[in-house]
């Protein structure tokens, strides 16, 4: 068995985007096994287990990942993760990966794939709501598939917004209000909010939105009226209804399951697409285990590792 400690040998955004795109295509074609993630809830956060089998890459395994929004106050990442890869023929553990940074990358890649297929423009102003690790990952991933002319960012603290803008010296970056960040062609939301931050009237026709932050029951970042205006695509319907951006409006009777326009897999496979220049498209991302397997396959092919005898 091999242990991949992380930080060395990380694949590029382009490599991750293409691997995650391929995984969504396999999902769209019904060729993967992937039960919905299971949550265990703590007073200040939760952890999830995420198993899957991706036949096209001949890889299977499970990720264990926590989300603790208060961790940065103690100098810890909000999200930390471990992925275990199993041999398909024998079940013997093949590898253990430090998946903390990999989780950032693969989530960013899902947003990039959604923006690539659903943005009405290839040259965009990008609005970013939130300024943490995932916000940075989204910008880096989207920059591989679209030309970002300007970034408009909102953060709860001015210092964090300035630090965020400093990550992208080659792209103009302006910090301002949430409303100003919505004056964009593509909007990315990456906060742990349990109260909607984005009001419907702030979003112009033709905008594409990556709703990333709502990944557990009770979380929501978008005004339910905005969901009613737009066409909502999800990564997985069951997960989205349980813990995605649509989970709260769905539980309150403000959003029906039959209003889901399709999955990102449907979009990648060509069965669904943006239907007009004026429509608002929304990608509700909860995070899929097949994304973790796709990036694990990349890392195992090129990363540094330590041998750990097993059994």
The residue ranges of every structural domain in the chain are 2-103+290-307, 111-286
What average pLDDT is seen over the chain? 96
Pick 111-286's CATH classification: 3.40.50.300, 3.40.50.720, 3.50.50.60, 3.10.300.10. Answer: 3.40.50.720
Task: Please write the tens of the pLDDT for every residue from 123-134.
Answer: 999 999 999 999
pLDDT-above-90 percentage for the chain = 93
The fold of the 2-103+290-307 domain, in CATH, is ornithine cyclodeaminase, domain 1 (3.30.1780)
Q: For the whole model, what pTM was predicted?
A: 0.95
The answer to whether 98 touches 4, Cβ cutoff 8 Å, is yes
3-state secondary structure of 70: coil
Minimal CA–CA distance to 167: which of 181, 148, 192, 183?
148
Confidence of residue 302 (pLDDT cuts 50, 70, 90): confident
| Higher per-residue confidence, 169 vs 14 | 14
The partner residues of 283 in beta bridges, in order of sequence, read 210, 233
What tokens were used for 151?
């970034």
DSSP of 106-118, one letter per residue?
HHHHHHHHHHHHH
Q: Is residue 191 pLDDT above 80, yes or no?
A: yes
**Catalytic site residue from 63, 121, 219, 272:** 63
Q: Is 7 marked active-site? A: no
**Tell me, what's the pLDDT at 254?**
96
The answer to whether 54 touches 298, Cβ cutoff 8 Å, is no
Q: CA geometry: angle at 165 spanning 161 and 169, to 5°?
A: 170
């Amino acid at each position: 068995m091999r242990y991949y400690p992380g930080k060395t040998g990380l694949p590029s955004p382009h490599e991750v985007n293409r691997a995650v795109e391929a995984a969504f295509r396999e999902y769209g074609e019904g060729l993967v096994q992937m039960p919905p993630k299971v949550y265990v809830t703590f007073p200040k956060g939760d952890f999830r287990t995420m198993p899957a089998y991706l036949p096209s890459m001949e890889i299977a395994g499970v990720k264990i990942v926590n989300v603790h929004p208060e961790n940065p106050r103690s100098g810890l990442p909000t999200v930390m993760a471990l992925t275990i890869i199993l041999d398909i023929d024998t079940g013997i553990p093949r590898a253990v990966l430090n998946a903390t940074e990999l989780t950032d990358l693969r989530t960013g890649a899902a947003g990039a794939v959604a923006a690539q297929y659903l943005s009405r423009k290839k040259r965009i102003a990008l609005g970013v709501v939130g300024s943490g690790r995932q916000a940075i990952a989204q910008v880096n991933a989207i920059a591989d598939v679209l030309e970002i002319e300007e970034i408009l960012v909102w953060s709860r603290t001015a210092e964090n917004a300035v630090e965020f803008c400093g990550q992208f010296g080659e792209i103009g970056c302006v910090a301002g209000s949430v409303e100003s960040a919505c004056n964009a062609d593509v909007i990315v939301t990456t906060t742990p909010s349990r109260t909607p931050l984005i009001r419907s009237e702030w979003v112009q026709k033709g905008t594409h939105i990556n709703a990333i932050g709502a990944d557990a029951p009770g979380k929501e970042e978008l005004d339910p009226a905005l969901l009613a205006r737009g066409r909502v695509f999800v990564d997985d319907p069951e997960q989205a209804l349980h813990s995605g951006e649509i989970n709260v409006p769905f539980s309150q009777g403000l959003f029906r399951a039959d209003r889901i326009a399709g999955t990102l897999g449907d979009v990648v496979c060509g069965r669904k697409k943006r239907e007009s220049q004026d429509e608002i498209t929304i990608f509700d991302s909860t995070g899929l285990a097949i994304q973790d397997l796709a990036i694990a396959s990349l890392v195992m092919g090129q990363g540094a590792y330590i041998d750990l005898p097993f059994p």
